[in-house]
Amino acid sequence: METIQITTVSKQYPVLVGKKAIQELPELITTEFNHLNKILIITDEKVAELHLQTVKHALIKTGKPVLQHVVPEGEHAKTFEVFYECQGYCLSQKLNRKSLIIALGGGAVGDLAGFVAATFMRGIPFIQIPTTLLAHDSAVGGKVAINHPLGKNMIGAFHQPEAVIYDLDFLLTLPLQELRSGFAEVIKHSLIADHDFYHWLKSNIVDLNEITDEQFLTMITKGIAIKAAIVEEDEKEMGIRAFLNFGHTLGHAVEGSMGYGNFTHGESILIGMVYALKLSMKKEGLDFNLEEFIDWVSQLGYQITIPDRLETAALLHLMKTDKKSVNEAATFVLLNQVGSPILKDIPDSELIDEMTEMK
């Protein structure tokens, strides 16, 4: 079992990663949170079917009442309607400031349940139990949110979890497309922070169906450590936290305009990373073997072109309304070198030219 301690201005908490990590949950609750009166697990339909019993079984040892609320899968959970319904459930079940929410699932459940916890009675504690590879990113750092039809994650808060329990056995049921989605965030972490990690990934991960337990552990703990170092320095994204948004400016625009859930988060940001790499090479003189990168990710099954049916003007508009952009121009995370990101405003004409090349 690996433990990574996260220390932000607002909270210090452990991230436990390993096979059977869920067995640590009851002791954590009875030692650190014994004053809590009730536990509500928020999970989605698929994860409920696959892993809810395991978590409920582990919680029996705490002797505390455990409730469950099941929401739709994927981005369908990150809506105002589902958020409102969760709040109604919390009220009707008389949760209060001594209650705990557990987010059991991928990033969508984590973002939703975390936002419910952040806002219920102005904030109650929650624990993240991630079940996807992608959630090595989403479960850590305290960004919680729902989507709005006009933009991804536009309604949210910063609310750190009390702990993250990452049981690698839960990943065994993940379909290939979800592994692919999560692996895109692993690639992102390597590109923004660690040249050696990037080369390790490129040489070792050539088939997403063949990732070993040891490789999962390495990827997840390295990804979390990279994210933790950034979040610890800049919890509320006043500066360097924006580097974690590498690939997301176009990525979120693609994800939203494909219709949330039709193209996974990771597949969308992979396209956004190719775009940001191209801009970095043109504008920052990034020395990068893009051809080799494209061969590698294509072999892993990623699409690297902007879907045909998406209009350049609509994508441009979405990029300019991204949270990072505060002036007229769209703000991008670019790389000077692998491991060395910067923020840069890019004129519309250059963004349009590059999108046209990537269609």
Ligand X SMILES: O=C(O)C(=O)C[C@@H](O)[C@H](O)[C@H](O)COP(=O)(O)O
Beta-bridge partners for 331:
345
To ligand NAD, the closest distance from the beta carbon of 110 in angstroms equals: 6
Cβ-closest position to ligand NAD: 107
> Using CB under 6 A, which residues numbered 149 to 188 contact ligand X?
152-153, 185
To ligand X, the closest distance from the beta carbon of 52 in angstroms equals: 25
Please enumerate in sequence order all residues whose Cβ is within 8 A of that of 23, keeping only pairs 6 or more positions apart, or say none. 58
To ligand NAD, the closest distance from the beta carbon of 156 in angstroms equals: 8
170 is in an annotated binding site: yes
81 is in an annotated binding site: no
Q: For ligand NAD, which residue of 25, 90, 103, 111 counts as binding (CB under 6 A)?
A: 111
What element of type H or E holds 16? strand 12-18
Q: For ligand X, which residue of 44, 73, 75, 137 counts as binding (CB under 6 A)?
A: 137
Q: Rounded to whole angstroms, how far apart are CA atoms 266 and 216?
A: 17
Q: Are 14 and 39 in contact (CB under 8 A)?
A: no
Q: Is 181 in the site for ligand NAD (CB under 6 A)?
A: yes
Kindly indicate which of the ranges 42-50, 88-96, 120-128, 304-312 contains the residues binding ligand NAD, using the contact rule CB under 6 A: 42-50
Q: Rounded to whole angstroms, how far apart are CA atoms 3 and 91?
A: 34
Beta-bridge partners for 340:
337
Kindly indicate which of the ranges 49-57, 116-124, 236-244, 278-286 contains the residues binding ligand X, using the contact rule CB under 6 A: 236-244
Determine phi and psi for 187, rounding to 5 degrees: -60, -45
Q: Rounded to whole angstroms, how far apart are CA atoms 72 and 82?
A: 8
152 is in an annotated binding site: yes
Given CA atoms 136, 228, 266, 197 in this order, what sign does their dihedral have?
negative
* Length of the chain in terms of residues written: 359
Q: For ligand X, which residue of 46, 78, 159, 241 counts as binding (CB under 6 A)?
A: 241
DSSP 3-state helix, strand, coil percentages of the chain (rounded to 5)? 50, 20, 30
221 is in an annotated binding site: no
Q: Between 171 and 231, name the residue whose CB sits nearer to ligand X.
A: 231
* Known binding positions for Zn(2+): 185, 248, 265
Residues of the shown chain interacting with ligand NAD in the complex, contacts defined by CB under 6 A: 44, 46-47, 50, 73-75, 78, 105-109, 111, 131-132, 134-135, 137-138, 141, 143, 153, 170-171, 173-174, 178, 181, 185, 264-265
